[in-house]
Amino acid sequence: MEELIKFTLNGKPVEVTADGDRMLLWVLRVDLGLTGTKYGCGESYCGACTVLVDEKATHSCMTPLKMVQGKSVVTIEGLANNGEMHPLQRAFMENDALQCGYCTPGMILHAYELLKKHPNPTEGEIVNGMEQNLCRCGAHKRIIEAIQAAAQAMKGV
Amino acid sequence: MSTDSTDLEWENVAGQSPMSSDQSSSGLSRRQFVQILGGGLLISVLPFPALGQQGGGGRGEARGMVVSARVHIAKDGLITVMTGKVEGGQGARAELTQAAAEELGVPASRVQLIMADTGLVPDDGMTAGSRSTPSTVPAIRQGAAAARNLLIAMAGRRWGVEEKAVQMRDGKVTDGTAGHELSYADLAADEGQSKALEQSIPSGVTVTPVKEWKVMGTSVPRPNGRDLVTGVHQYPSDITRPGMLYGKILRAPSYGAKLKAIDLSRAKAMKDVVVVQDGSFVGVAAPALFAAEQALMAIAGTASWEAAEHPSSEKVFDYLREHAQGGVPKNPFADEMAAAGKSLRQTYHVAYVQHAPLEPRVGVAEWQDGKLTVWTGSQNPFGCQQELARALNLSRDRVRVIVPDFGGGFGGKHSPDAHIEAARLAQAAGKPVLVRWTREEEFTWACFRPAAVIDVEASLDAKGALTCWHFVNINSGGSAVDTPYRAGKIKCQFVGSDSPLRQASYRALAATANNFARESFMDELATLAGSDPLAFRMAHLDNARLSAVLDAAAKRFDWAGRRAKKEANTGVGLACGTEKGSYVAACVQIAIREGRIVVQHVCEVFECGAVINPANLLSQIQGCITMGIGPALREEMRFQNGQITNASFWGYGVPRFADLPELDVHALDRPDLPSVGAGETPIIAVAPAIANAVFHATGQRIRQMPVKL
């Protein structure tokens, strides 16, 4: 059923008239043109579609649009601040924490939530925190290093 | 058709008489190039050398002559390099950019690389077999070096000095005299000079020796890294076209099932839905994905199918052996082995696995004026072009395939299928169509790394030296089937079989299986000989490069120390091997925890000649090890009654963060040796080293991948 859904997207208010049962992933990608959020499995097993909903890492492929009514959604496109990359984005680049990069938006947004919970995470906390995100290129080690580097860079920020 | 053996010619784009706008399969006319890239200098690969002799007015002026351009230098000095190679995460974009920058004497940031657009780039062959480094890097270096030589020659002529006196610095040349400085922009702008040089291009171009490398040999980062971390990069899945529809394809309920009948009327009655049937191909397209899914669901239930026999994964190894082409070869050394003091025979099984790239297959097709453009994720853009031409009965020059950097291939995306599916639907719809496979479709209808049945037999003399070796790979392939060890009488064979699953390439596919069997068996032979696994291998190795990596890995890992102080439920194992001209050795430590194998530590040493990009090499080696842990420990396709029974990331256990061992990766740089690829070989030592460590921990020999306790 079509309904009006209002939420904040990357800091700006948006209104979408759409079937509230449609998954947020496709509304973001198709209706709103934000293709940085990726389809990987559609079953909440790979984390490629991760976005932040009220600062919480959320699989947009299994999140009906109506669930974000009145909430704040951040996608990878909204993480940079006035063209200035987020420390996580810089750290992923500097540590070559990606190869094909298809898992990267989901990785970075999940790491964002992780660093909110654990500003100075141990390797074990990173492994546990990132467990839902798959990387097929095998960049795991450098992803851990990038998250640690970002944590350092974000100290005192 | 590959043009790896580069035949170069150069042309000055500007000022030429207008060319025919005829377009070939792999290039544009000069005029079209000028329209796209602007005037300037083109260094071209000649797809058909004979064309160079056509026409009376100099090279390339025959009607219809196309430019398969390698390097374009615009009048403002902007350098564009073109290659048919693709980027799927392996780092070719950085490496090929470096290759051009090195020879042009400019920083990598000055070079823009256009990859895998059949309308613009030369055909460099498919991106497979670790060939980009040994073939395409040299091809691009020669093209770029030819441009550099032109600039130097032009400077020499203009200043009346010998070319030897001209120095290249930061993309400019000078002879040291004040005011004597020329750049690529000057070269590209000077039509008269470059025309005068037309005849003087040498056929063999000298490239920069390794010891003088400034850009190659350094860790140039991914040129589009920022786009990747900010979500700006458009993967094939992210392409949208005006008025684009979403397509869904009817899939058979099981492998080999034949469509007997289907009633399309319910989908045809739906608003804005396009329905296509061509024999067993049935697809729908609609303005929204949900509508397309509804339309497909409406007709799928009306289909009747004729099922086919299909073996189950439980029985697949028997099936492959029974269907070995020409039968399973007999051991030619049976008599010698029977007479030998000690002999051993074992069989190893390797399961079907899937690449499972995180970006599933996708195709976006658009028709315009009888011409077709398709965006897709493929390792073989020119192959896709040919497949599309064949499937849609078009000439190749009416098909353009564009491959944006895509989300992983690993050997599985040579022919993505979705490119043809999208093109068929778009043709019927008269609108652009996107076909994106679901994960379940990917797991079921994409291709698989072949399963293997491998028989190995060998004998030892009284001193524990190998005397006979017989090795047979059934079904998975002949790569690295030959043993690198001195083994007396040797026979190594590959025989094909009747694969029940659709097989394709994979990171070091057969080399992984063959190395798993050989290195596991070498461990068993070491035990039979009463030797240490390292000492037994070293005693049979004559290959200095392989010995070097094995020795280095054993030392870094402290093989002797760790093996001596064995703790309960832990074990160490090692393996080595060579494939595609590179060399690898791995030492691992594992622990058995609650009946599960935990890989704790992997030390791997790898050597692939002169290192072109140390950071990317590290990423590739780490990636191989991490990816390789999956098929070693868990990954296997399970199937029954013609259906994959674990077609999801839930049922198919790819490596996760928790699987990551401590990694100690070391690359041996050999600037004295040619560079070869690094995206495959580092995977081949992982599984056997783990299997051998399991034996050390438990006393149980492992003879199948994935390892099962």
State the DSSP string of B249-282. E---SSTT-EEEE---HHHHTSTT-EEEEETTEE
- Shared domain for A60 and A8, answered yes or no, is yes
DSSP string, B523-583: HHHHHHHT--HHHHHHHTB--HHHHHHHHHHHHHHTHHHHHHT--TTEEEEEEEEEETTEE
Q: Which residue has the tokens 């992780």?
A: A114
Q: How confident is the model at residue B11 (pLDDT cuts 50, 70, 90)?
A: very low
Are both A73 and A14 inside the same structural domain?
Answer: yes
Q: Do B359 and A100 touch (CB under 8 A)?
A: yes
Could you give the CA distance from residue B155 to residue A89 in angstroms, rounded to a whole number? 44
User: B-chain residues within 8 Å CB-CB of A34?
Assistant: 231
Residues sharing a CB contact under 8 Å with residue B533, sequence separation 6 or more, in sequence order:
B522, B523, B526, B573, B574, B692
- The answer to whether the Cβ–Cβ distance between B648 and A45 falls below 8 Å is yes
Residue B139 has pLDDT above 80, yes or no: yes
With CB atoms and an 8 Å threshold, state whether A38 touches B358: yes
Is the pLDDT score of B14 beyond 70? no
Q: Average pLDDT, stretch B624-652?
A: 98
- The average pLDDT across B630-652 equals 98
pLDDT in tens, B54-112: 333 333 333 344 556 788 888 888 999 999 999 999 999 999 999 999 999 999 999 99
Q: What is the mean pLDDT of residues B405-415?
A: 96
* pLDDT score for A149: 98
How close A86 comes to chain B (CA, Å)?
A: 9
Q: Do B238 and A103 touch (CB under 8 A)?
A: no
List, in order, residues 6 or more apart from B572 with CB less than 8 Å away: B557, B559, B562, B563, B566, B587, B588, B589, B590, B693, B696
Provide the pLDDT for residue B29: 65
Q: What is the CATH number of the domain that holds A24?
A: 3.10.20.30
Task: Specify whether the CB–CB gap between A41 and B439 falls below 8 A.
Answer: yes
The stretches in chain A having pLDDT less than 70 are: 156-157
Last residue of a domain, which of A60, A78, A96? A78
Both structure tokens of A102? 């298809």
Residue B668 bridge partners (DSSP): B607
Residue in chain A closest to B442 (alpha carbons) equals A41
In this structure, the answer to whether residues A50 and A102 fall within a common structural domain is: no
User: What pLDDT score was predicted for residue B42?
Assistant: 79
For residue B664, give the 3-state DSSP assignment: strand
Residues of B527-542 as b/e, b for ≥16 C-beta within 10 angstroms? ebbebbbbebbbbbbe
Q: What is the mean pLDDT of residues B510-514?
A: 97
pLDDT value of residue A134: 98
Supply the DSSP string of B677-697, one letter for each residue.
--SSGGGTTHHHHHHHHHHHH
Cα separation, B594 vs B86, whole angstroms: 43
Q: Say which residue, B53 or B435, is predicted with more confidence.
A: B435
- Cα-flanking dihedrals φ and ψ of residue B261, to 5°? -160, 155
pLDDT given for residue B275 in this prediction: 98
A99 shares a domain with A122: yes
What's chain B's average pLDDT? 91
Chain A interface test: which of B228, B229, B375 (most A C-beta within 10 Å): B229
**Rounded distance, CA B654 to CA B630, Å?**
5
* pLDDT of B555 above 90: yes
Res B571: pLDDT: 98
Which residues in A lie closer than 8 A to residue B356 (C-beta atoms)? Answer: 136
CA-closest candidate to residue B690, choices B703, B672, B673: B703
d(CA B700, CA B529): 18
Give start and end residues of each alpha helix (H) in B24-128. 30-37, 92-104
DSSP characters over B579-641: ETTEEEEEEEEEEEETTEEEEEEEEEEEE-SS-S-HHHHHHHHHHHHHHHHHHHHT----EET
pLDDT in tens, B223-276: 999 999 999 999 999 999 999 999 999 999 999 999 999 999 999 999 999 999
CB contact under 8 A, B663 and A141: yes
> Cβ separation of B648 and A93 shorter than 8 Å?
no
Among candidates A45, A101, A128 on the partner chain, residue whose Cβ is nearest the Cβ of B89: A101
Domain end point (choices A78, A98, A120) = A78
Rg (CA), chain A: 15
Which residue reads 């070491």 in tokens?
B526
Which residue does chain B place closest to A104, by CA atoms? B229
Q: Is the pLDDT of residue B3 over 80?
A: no
Task: Name the residue in chain B with its Cα closest to that of A93.
Answer: B225
pLDDT for B200 beyond 50? no
- What's the total number of domains in chain A? 2
- Residue B287 backbone dihedrals phi, psi, to 5 degrees: -65, -20
- Asked if residue B698 has pLDDT above 70, the reply is yes
- Closest-approach residue (CA) in chain A for B651: A45
CA distance A156 to chain B (A): 23
Model confidence at B37: pLDDT above 50: yes
Same domain, A57 and A102: no
Nearest CA-CA distance, residue A12 and chain B, Å: 18
Query: Residues A64, A100: one domain?
Result: no
Residues A61 and A101 in one domain: no
Name which of A30, A99, A105 is nearest B619 (Cβ-Cβ).
Answer: A99
Q: Which has more confidence, B169 or B286? A: B286
Quick: pLDDT tens for B100-132.
Answer: 999 999 999 999 999 999 999 999 999 999 999
Q: Could you tell me if A24 and A54 lie in one domain? A: yes
- Picking from B233, B408, B619, the nearest residue to A96 by CB comes out as B619
Say if residue A65 is in the same domain as residue A113. no
Q: Which residue of A has its CA nearest to B90?
A: A99
Closest by Cβ to B225, choosing from A29, A93, A137: A93
**Cβ–Cβ below 8 Å for A96 and B615:** yes
How would residue B31 be classed by pLDDT, with cut points 50, 70 and 90? low
Q: Do A140 and B660 touch (CB under 8 A)?
A: yes
Q: What pLDDT, on the 0 to 100 scale, is given for residue B30? A: 63
For residue B631, the model assigns a pLDDT of 98
Q: Please tell me whether the peptide bond between B655 and the residue prior to it is cis, using omega within 30 degrees of 0.
A: no
Mutate to test the interface with B, among A41, A86, A127, A132 (most CBs of B within 10 A): A41
Give the DSSP H or E segment for B375: strand B371-376
Higher pLDDT, residue B536 or B50 = B536
Each residue's pLDDT tens digit, B556-573: 999 999 999 989 999 999
A66-to-A6, A16, A70 alpha-carbon distances in Å: 9, 10, 9
Given A23, A49, A78, the domain boundary residue is A78
Judging contacts by C-beta atoms under 8 Å, the chain A residues touching residue B648 are: 41, 43, 45
| Residues of chain B with C-beta less than 8 angstroms from the C-beta of A37 | 231
Q: CATH code at A122?
A: 1.10.150.120
Residues A55 and A101 placed together within one structural domain of the fold? no
Beta strand ranges found along B274-370 (DSSP E):
274-278, 281-286, 304-306, 342-350, 353-354, 362-368
pLDDT given for residue B198 in this prediction: 40
Q: What is the 3-state secondary structure (H, E, C) of chain A?
A: CEEEEEEEECCEEEEEEEECCCEHHHHHHHHCCCCCCCCCCCCCCCCCCEEEECCEEEEHHHCEHHHHCCCEEECHHHCCECCECCHHHHHHHHCCCCCCCCCHHHHHHHHHHHHHHCCCCCHHHHHHHCCCCCCCCCCHHHHHHHHHHHHHHCCCC
Residue B649 has pLDDT above 70, yes or no: yes
Confidence of residue B153 (pLDDT cuts 50, 70, 90): confident
The distance of Cα A75 from the centroid of its chain, to the nearest Å, equals 6
> In this structure, what token pair is assigned to residue B703?
């003879």
Q: Which member of A77, A102, A140 has the closest CB to residue B358?
A: A102
- Does residue A59 sit in the same domain as residue A99? no
Q: Which of B19-23, B24-28, B148-152, B318-322 has the lowest mean pLDDT?
A: B19-23
Q: What percent of chain B has pLDDT over 90?
A: 82
Question: CA of B621: which chain A residue's CA is closest?
Answer: A138
Q: Which residues of B485-510 are buried (b: 16+ CB within 10 A; e: fewer)?
A: bebbebbbbbbbbebbbebbbbbbbb
Residues B9 and B203: their CA atoms lie apart, in Å, by 8
| H or E segment to which residue B245 belongs | strand B245-249
Residue with the two structure tokens 């998975």: B476
Chain B residues inside the 8 Å CB shell of A142: 619, 622
Please give the average per-residue pLDDT across B674-684, as a whole number. Answer: 97
- In A, minimum Cα distance to B355 occurs at A136
Above 60 in pLDDT, residue B434? yes
pLDDT (0 to 100) of residue B15: 29
Residue B608 confidence (pLDDT): 98
Task: Tell if the CB–CB gap between A98 and B88 is shorter than 8 Å.
Answer: no
**B457 pLDDT tier (thresholds 50, 70, 90):** very high
Q: In terms of domains, do A36 and A98 share one?
A: no
Which among B228, B436, B439 has CB closest to A41? B439
For A67, the domain range is 2-78
**DSSP-derived secondary structure letter, B450:** P
Domains by residue range for chain B, with CATH: 8-212 (3.30.365.10), 238-306+361-436 (3.30.365.10), 448-705 (3.30.365.10)
Instruction: Report the residue from A48, A76, A143 with minimal CB separation from B358.
Output: A48
